[in-house]
A and B are shown apart, each in its own frame.
Chain A
């Protein structure tokens, strides 16, 4: 029950991320609907834009209520609050206009089978303008409270905290959108929407990795040396749930990917597996909500309620225990060895599939090499698990090595690019003796370059 907002500021923090970060995912589905020319999906996206437009009301009201509280406290700069409010009003007006255009387009859908492309493009254009404005408003918004990201005294740069504040909303808000679209897809029995939401579950799982890593770095940026008002024990409580979230995201993401892979070969989904994914996703969403709340408690005293009992001992919890155990050679070396096996699996699979796409072994069809992809995906899961364990052994040192950021960036790019192999219709239809389309070759080159970058970045970690 502590997740239910008890103040305007808490409500504003919660509700404002949906019309901002959520727009990215609504737009992603909308563009997919255009590419696949799926009328039902376009219609559902219009509903999503309409609902986001309505969220302008609670966002405005909660923002207004929060402002009345904040201006009385010396911590908050009046100029910053005014700048956020000014841009916020503009962005909310654009959001309301997007919602209105979406509702009007929906009404036209009721009267006719198809709506003119002009009306749909108008919604797309307005949503893109709103997203740009929301990015500015969001940045101005978290600068009001997160003054710690200006600190230059910490050993670990504050850019990590800044990126974490932005990045953590992608797998969380994205997961909400994936789940809503997934439930709608199951009810409407729409194959494109099912595949789209399964792909978003996978993307959220992949984005969980850089989110977890930046979160670890933020911990050091906020605790070494200690910052007034920020407790390591409260951070550890957040980290414990972040670890559970990573498992939840990975579990949902992998089961979703298996269905995408299976669909490619059989042209249908397994209904029990779709139901299992729904259950995993609901459980994971619960864990993500608690993780987000615990993250908010680190530096948002305004969301704490009288019944909240915050931890005080930084040595209690799952994360400190994992840190301690993985620092023993008996645990570190086995997981590091597993990590190298994982790389071999990922790179071997990516190389075989990418080389076929690039024109090697044309005597086999693409569908034949597509069958080995689970080896690589299981390799990714193995390495996310072992990599996160290894990171805990000495996270402050790893995170401050110059090859760490490129390595994690390449992991996200390489893993998302591999999704293309299970989604592209044109690539799937490449038969024995045929050449793959040029777009697929670019993706294959990107996959190979990314995973090469991951291996090189990882190997250089202890040396540069």
Chain B
């Protein structure tokens, strides 16, 4: 089975591992922030109702 380093090299984009890491970390953090805000406002509407 090909290692992640081999796949990164085969694709040929410099620092692809860093780019992928940025996408994963930013997606997780922003996703959590948006989800938290959504849940808080939803809970507020439910309790207000």
List residues of A whose CB falls within 8 A of some B CB.
258, 261-262, 265-266, 329-331, 333-335, 337-338, 341, 345, 371-372, 374-375, 378-379, 382, 386
Contact indicator B33/A334 (Cβ below 8 Å)? no
Inter-chain CA distance A375–B29, complex, in Å, is 12
Contact indicator B18/A333 (Cβ below 8 Å)? yes
Q: Which residues of B contact A375 (CB under 8 A)?
A: 33, 37
Interface of B is mostly: helix
Q: Which residues of A contact B41 (CB under 8 A)?
A: 371, 374
Q: Which residues of A contact B18 (CB under 8 A)?
A: 329-330, 333-334
- Could you say which of B15, B37, B44 contacts A378, with CB atoms under 8 Å apart? B37
Q: A341-B29, A382-B33 are in contact. Are A334 and B44 (CB under 8 A)?
A: no
Q: A333-B18, A374-B40, A379-B33 are in contact. Are A338 and B48 (CB under 8 A)?
A: no
Instruction: Kindly provide the distance from the CB of A285 to the nearest chain B CB, expressed in whole angstroms.
Output: 25
Interface flags, B5-40, vs A, CB<8A=1, else 0? 000000000010110011011100110110011001
Q: Which residues of B contact A258 (CB under 8 A)?
A: 40
Contact indicator A378/B22 (Cβ below 8 Å)? no
- Could you say which of A262, A330, A338, A341 contacts B44, with CB atoms under 8 Å apart? A262
Instruction: Kindly provide the distance from the CB of A344 to the nearest chain B CB, expressed in whole angstroms.
Output: 10
Q: Which residues of B contact A331 (CB under 8 A)?
A: 21
Contact indicator A333/B22 (Cβ below 8 Å)? yes
Instruction: Kindly provide the distance from the CB of A263 to the nearest chain B CB, expressed in whole angstroms.
Output: 11
Q: A374-B36, A374-B40 are in contact. Are A341 and B22 (CB under 8 A)?
A: no
Q: Which residues of B contact A262 (CB under 8 A)?
A: 40, 43-44, 47
14 contacts between A and B (CB under 8 A): A258-B40, A261-B40, A262-B43, A266-B44, A330-B18, A333-B18, A334-B26, A338-B26, A338-B29, A341-B29, A371-B41, A371-B44, A375-B33, A378-B37
Number of interface residues of B (CB under 8 A): 20
Q: Which residues of B contact A371 (CB under 8 A)?
A: 41, 44
Contact indicator B30/A334 (Cβ below 8 Å)? no
Inter-chain CA distance A374–B40, complex, in Å, is 8
Contact indicator A334/B17 (Cβ below 8 Å)? no
- Could you say which of A266, A330, A335, A345 contacts B48, with CB atoms under 8 Å apart? A266
Closest to A349 in B: B37
Instruction: Kindly provide the distance from the CB of B11 to the nearest chain A CB, expressed in whole angstroms.
Output: 17
Contact indicator A334/B37 (Cβ below 8 Å)? no
Contact indicator B26/A330 (Cβ below 8 Å)? no
Contact indicator B40/A330 (Cβ below 8 Å)? no
- Could you say which of A266, A337, A374 contacts B37, with CB atoms under 8 Å apart? A374
Inter-chain CA distance A379–B33, complex, in Å, is 8
Inter-chain CA distance A330–B16, complex, in Å, is 10
Contact indicator A341/B37 (Cβ below 8 Å)? no
Instruction: Kindly provide the distance from the CB of B20 to the nearest chain A CB, expressed in whole angstroms.
Output: 9
Inter-chain CA distance A262–B42, complex, in Å, is 11
Contact indicator A382/B44 (Cβ below 8 Å)? no
Contact indicator A338/B36 (Cβ below 8 Å)? no
Q: Which residues of A contact B15 (CB under 8 A)?
A: 329
Closest to A332 in B: B18
Instruction: Kindly provide the distance from the CB of A445 to the nearest chain B CB, expressed in whole angstroms.
Output: 25
Contact indicator A334/B22 (Cβ below 8 Å)? yes
Contact indicator B44/A337 (Cβ below 8 Å)? no
Given A337-B26, A371-B44, A374-B36, 7 more A-B residue pairs with CB atoms under 8 Å apart are A258-B40, A266-B44, A333-B18, A335-B25, A338-B29, A341-B29, A374-B41
- Could you say which of B30, B40, B48 contacts A341, with CB atoms under 8 Å apart? B30
Inter-chain CA distance A337–B25, complex, in Å, is 9
Instruction: Kindly provide the distance from the CB of A386 to the nearest chain B CB, expressed in whole angstroms.
Output: 8
Q: Which residues of B contact A330 (CB under 8 A)?
A: 17-18, 21
Q: Which residues of A contact B17 (CB under 8 A)?
A: 330
Inter-chain CA distance A386–B44, complex, in Å, is 29
Closest to A378 in B: B33
Contact indicator B36/A334 (Cβ below 8 Å)? no
Contact indicator A334/B25 (Cβ below 8 Å)? yes
